[in-house]
């Protein structure tokens, strides 16, 4: 069978062009609270010393942060992200070019899906915020 890589690349670029011109995914505008959660997630990723796999290559956590912030900014401009969960689902879980899932590997641990890693960090962030909030209420 003939080499399918050129055809596959053309299809990927065509899909990207369609996505770039697609209407918004009807997300609510990104609130300051949601933006704050996303910024904390990106900061935690950058400070994690973990590695981030994107399209078969490992990148530093700092490089991952830059890439994901670029995707976030694009989705915000399109009105396509309104929460931290939507950011994780639409920007931080898989490549929009290849469809391959992103992976996060920390230390000697096996790689995990980036969406799972970020959701766990989001949960920790919210639990910590709730504890701080309840401490101030007493």
Given this model, what pLDDT does residue 101 score?
Answer: 98
- Tokens at 68, concatenated: 């994901």
What is the residue range of 48's domain?
27-133
Q: Domain for residue 5, yes or no?
A: no
Whether the pLDDT of residue 1 is over 80: the answer is no
Q: What is the pLDDT of residue 35?
A: 96
Percentage of the chain exceeding pLDDT 90: 70
Domain assignment present for 4: no
Domain count across the chain: 1
pLDDT digits 0-9 by tens, 31-87:
999 999 999 999 999 999 899 999 999 999 999 999 999 999 999 999 999 999 999
Judged against a pLDDT cut of 80, whether residue 19 lies above it is answered with no
DSSP conformation class of 22: S
Q: Is residue 10 part of a domain?
A: no
């Amino acid at each position: 069978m003939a080499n399918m890589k050129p055809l596959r690349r053309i299809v990927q670029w065509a899909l990207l062009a369609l996505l770039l011109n697609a209407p918004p995914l009807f997300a609510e505008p990104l609130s300051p609270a949601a933006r704050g959660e996303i910024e904390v997630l990106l900061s935690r990723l950058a400070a994690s010393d973990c590695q981030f796999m994107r399209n078969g290559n490992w990148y530093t956590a700092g490089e991952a942060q830059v890439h994901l912030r670029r995707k976030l900014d694009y989705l915000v401009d399109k009105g396509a992200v309104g929460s931290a969960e939507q950011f994780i689902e639409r920007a931080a879980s898989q490549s929009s070019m290849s469809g391959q899932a992103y992976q996060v590997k920390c230390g000697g641990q096996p790689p995990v899906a980036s969406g799972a890693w970020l959701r766990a960090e989001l949960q920790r962030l919210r639990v910590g915020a709730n504890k701080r909030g309840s401490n101030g209420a007493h």
